């Protein structure tokens, strides 16, 4: 499954702040793998689910995860990135 979207990258350093919006394609390969292609830069990022188990941690339901993706607005300070999706629907 593929969806067009825009990834928002936010990097905050003591003397430098960078914010960028990169149009691309979110690709859902299966329940354990997804990727994002930055179209203009021709980069591809592949992500996979962590297979380790953690004590006292429970994964969100698929519905809660989708809701979280829809509500993400920006990355936290420190250089984290997040993705914004247009018309995300599974």
Spans of all domains in the chain: 2-85
pLDDT value for 81: 46
* pLDDT band for position 57 (cuts 50, 70, 90): confident
What pLDDT shows up at residue 89? 44
**Residue 83 CB neighbour total at 10 angstroms:** 19
What is the mean predicted confidence (pLDDT) over 16-40? 90
Q: What is the CA angle 32-56-58, rounded to 5?
A: 35
């Amino acid at each position: 499954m593929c969806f067009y979207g825009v990834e928002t990258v936010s990097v905050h350093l003591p003397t430098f702040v960078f914010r960028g919006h990169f149009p691309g394609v979110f690709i859902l390969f299966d329940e354990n793998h997804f990727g994002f292609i930055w179209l203009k830069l021709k980069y591809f990022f592949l992500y996979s689910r962590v297979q380790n188990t953690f004590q006292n941690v429970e994964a969100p339901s698929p519905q809660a995860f989708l809701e979280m993706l829809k509500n993400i607005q920006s990355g936290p300070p420190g250089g984290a990135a997040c993705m914004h999706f247009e018309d995300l629907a599974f």
